[in-house]
Structure 1
């Protein structure tokens, strides 16, 4: 039976979201026939329709910001506004539990900040002791379901323009590593996190099952303190429609081409910035975008 409580949705709400928002049809039969195939398509559909973005948080005036409630999270995801890992992965966790998957929240650390990322592990999917990582709440997501039964290092995965792998550490910690070229700007800032051609991006603590409240302290800083993780200082909106990157980041538009190369374009005016949202992310109102531009003191390159 699906759980009840504030951080839950019903099976009917879950199936409505899959059908009407993600455009996934006949999911009940799909889940019964092949859970792994269903989850793989769910990941792709989430990254197609639900953006990782900081716009809505920045648009809120300073002093009125707060950690999104369960109701906020549901509204933001169902309306395709998306959010950062907190909103996206918590909603996915609620949806998966409503569909009777054994999904748990796990704490994750990135760039020396404890609990700054919300992770999801699914238990018992392909066997009683199996564990899989499901990650759709990052601007650099793993674009597939990741089995965690590898010994020291997972296979190398290539999705979109990204190449990545996972490495096992002690005490149930799995490290999400990207090829340096994927996260070159981050790698330059944190050279000590480089191992050969790989950059250690996130550390998932897969043996720890936690509640939403576990993240309260860290997320209060993230959603209310300007400068924390750049969530309130950098205008970012990222999605992968049809498996290709579309990203607006401050004064830059990034589009992935057919050869999986990322082409960068710089906005020449504020109107071009607004037009890019109208074209690629029309679910954002002009008033919200203008408020975010004002609050971050948007500047062209």
Structure 2
């Protein structure tokens, strides 16, 4: 079955056996059953690293649907697309990760996050992971390296994390929100005014209080149906981190991380070449080539059909 966007709501659910089978088979964590006896930070980080390597954040399934028909996908579609390796936007990836971790017995909740517009991102907070009362940020769908749960047990500023081509850190604000900051990089556009001398740029902020899936879904009904609610409606992208190295497509350009943690770019001049590049760099889309072609044409990157 080809991925589709569906409107009706289905209760989100995943059994422990389904979750264990997913991390064993799909994420290739062979010692999953033994690790589950301990659970904790080691297993959580293995899941996140492997998920980043195998499930892309992408706008292909979004752009394959004309704007007027776009809707937030329901749980059945989210589960199908992630389990088959097609992935999706931050909503699909983090909702799936929340269900997966919940089924494995982790103490997790969802919270609202803001990237370019208010509440157009969702992240996960994990509690009581390594010790009672601790908090960790879990983000399986932001499009940038986040290969581990990020420790939130700091006073004002976190440690600096350098993963793949990116260095990032978290900063707590007086209003209770937490900022995610990235070191300056050509792919990271400033979303608000910054000091020109600063080496750090805001990527997003998030809240620490829990929100129900119904509250998250209400926000993402708006995100999926409103063109200005997210840049995803205007950008063709697909990103994954095999071997903790970036492989990304942004509009007409393919970016592949080299041995020096820099991104080598190749720009394509025809829609046919871009579709071939997507299917070549992300083999799961070979089965969905027609979907990729439709997405490229709907967005009009080349203003002609494949």
TM value normalised by structure 1 = 0.91
How much has 1:34 moved relative to structure 2? 5.3
Q: Secondary structure at the match of 2:52?
A: helix
How much has 1:228 moved relative to structure 2? 3.2
How far apart are the structure 1 equivalents of 2:269 and 2:83?
Answer: 33
**2:220 equivalent in structure 1:** 219
**2:12 equivalent in structure 1:** 7
How much has 1:171 moved relative to structure 2? 4.1
How far apart are the structure 1 equivalents of 2:245 and 2:111?
Answer: 28
Structure 1: 5+ residue stretches without partners: none
**1:94 equivalent in structure 2:** 99
Structure 2: 5+ residue stretches without partners: 1-9
Task: Report 1:260-275 matches (<5 A).
Answer: 260-275=261-276
**1:233 equivalent in structure 2:** 234
**2:299 equivalent in structure 1:** 296
How far apart are the structure 2 equivalents of 1:205 and 1:195?
Answer: 28
**1:74 equivalent in structure 2:** 79
Residue 89 of structure 1 contacts residue 118 of structure 1 at CA under 8 Å; is this kept in 2?
A: yes
Q: More displaced, 113-122 or 47-56?
A: 113-122
Task: Report 1:136-285 matches (<5 A).
Answer: 136-181=140-185, 183-184=187-188, 186-187=189-190, 190-192=192-194, 196-206=198-208, 208-284=209-285, 285=288
Q: Secondary structure at the match of 2:92?
A: helix
**2:60 equivalent in structure 1:** 55
RMSD: 1.8
How much has 1:20 moved relative to structure 2? 1.9
Q: Secondary structure at the match of 1:63?
A: helix
Paired residues, what number? 292
Residue 145 of structure 2 contacts residue 164 of structure 2 at CA under 8 Å; is this kept in 1?
A: no
> In the alignment, is residue 41 of structure 1 matched against residue 43 of structure 2?
no
> In the alignment, is residue 19 of structure 1 matched against residue 24 of structure 2?
yes
Distance 1:214 1:262, change over 3 A: same
How much has 1:289 moved relative to structure 2? 0.7
How much has 1:204 moved relative to structure 2? 1.3
TM value normalised by structure 2 = 0.90
Q: Secondary structure at the match of 1:128?
A: coil
Q: Secondary structure at the match of 1:96?
A: helix
